[in-house]
Amino acid sequence: EAQVTQNPRYLITVTGKKLTVTCSQNMNHEYMSWYRQDPGLGLRQIYYSMNVEVTDKGDVPEGYKVSRKEKRNFPLILESPSPNQTSLYFCASSQVEYLAKNIQYFGAGTRLSVL
């Protein structure tokens, strides 16, 4: 079954404690992306990756890091989480077959609370 898998689904942590949210896709997609979703602000892109070792900032990259060492994995790293990073996070992937047809498949989401 084609899917994007995020772990953990729920996480409560404390300010400053480094954490990693994993994302893995089994569709051999080149493109992967991380979003955060906050009430009234919608989905905002954090980082994206066009392929292995190719990453770039989205709209809200501050406080986050990513890496793309393998095509299937795109972890999101919070080196020193702060309460304003409490949010619902989604990973997405896409096959870039045609430039204009970037249809993204989303993971189930990770609800993060930073105390």
Partner 1 sequence: QKEVEQNSGPLSVPEGAIASLNCTYSDRGSQSFFWYRQYSGKSPELIMSIYSNGDKEDGRFTAQLNKASQYVSLLIRDSQPSDSATYLCAAEGRGFQKLVFGTGTRLLVSP
Contact set with partner 1 (CB under 8 A)? 31, 33, 35, 40-45, 48, 50, 56, 58, 90, 96, 99-109
Measured distance CA(1)–CA(53) in Å, rounded: 26
Report the nearest approach of partner 1 to the CB of residue 97 (Å): 11
Beta carbon nearer to partner 1, 9 or 17: 9
Beta carbon nearer to partner 1, 82 or 93: 93
| Tokens at 90, concatenated | 């989604």
Give the torsion sign (CA, 81, 51, 96, 2).
negative
Beta carbon nearer to partner 1, 12 or 14: 12
Report the nearest approach of partner 1 to the CB of residue 102 (Å): 5
Report the nearest approach of partner 1 to the CB of residue 17 (Å): 25
Q: Are strands 105-106 and 76-78 parallel, antiparallel or unpaired?
A: unpaired
Q: Which of 113, 72, 68 is nearest to 89 (CA)?
A: 113
- The position carrying tokens 């189930």 is 108
Beta carbon nearer to partner 1, 80 or 102: 102
